[in-house]
Amino acid sequence: MTKKEEKKFEHFLEEFKTLVTKKGFKNTVQKDCILKVLYFSKEHLSAEEITKKVQKEFDMDIGIATVYRSLNFFEQMNVIESLDVGDGTKRFEFKVEQHHDHMICTNCHKIIEFSDDFIELNQIKVAEKNGFILEDHIMTIYGLCEDCQ
């Protein structure tokens, strides 16, 4: 990670802690470490993987229950998203500024992120056609990746 990325994370963390305090919640070092792991991860991590990474990277004794509670809290605070890849394990990613969708291989569970302006525009049209105002959406395409075909 670069100094610029580290600085961006520190700025995010400072703002997040202020928001958490204003809402009357408690922030902890464990939560900070979990957020950092998610923020810099290029993968969609399970709670177990997050636990191991926090233990290893921060030399911290943290239990899986603490990680699950923190992940639920972060989802409620709208800073992470969960993803069901169909293998019985919920995966998590930091909520990025630019929206993206996912393609998931039903054989090897590979996750491919993609963005498509045409799909985004058509979702808005479909919502309007049905009297909806689109606020958010999650699109997941399941199929076989190129390697598993």
Catalogue the long-range contacts made by 23-28 (C-beta closer than 8 Å, 24 or more residues apart). 25/73
* Res 137 pLDDT > 90: no
The full set of domain ranges for the chain reads: 3-94, 101-143
Q: Is 33 annotated among the ligand-binding residues?
A: no
Residue 113's SS3 state is strand
Cα radius of gyration (the chain): 17
The superfamily CATH assigns to domain 101-143 is Ferric-uptake regulator, C-terminal dimerisarion domain (3.30.1490.190)
137 is in an annotated binding site: yes
pLDDT digits (tens, 9 = 90+) for 60-101: 999 999 999 999 999 999 999 999 877 889 999 998 777 889
At residue 6, the pLDDT reads 93
| More confidently predicted of 64 and 136 | 64
Which are the contacts of 134, defined by CB distance < 8 A and separation ≥ 6?
123, 124, 127, 128
- Token look-up 């890849």 returns 85
CA–CA distance, 51 with 66 (Å, rounded to integer): 9
Is 145 flagged in the annotation as binding? yes
Q: What class has domain 3-94?
A: mainly alpha
Q: What's the pLDDT band for 10 if we cut at 50, 70, 90?
A: very high
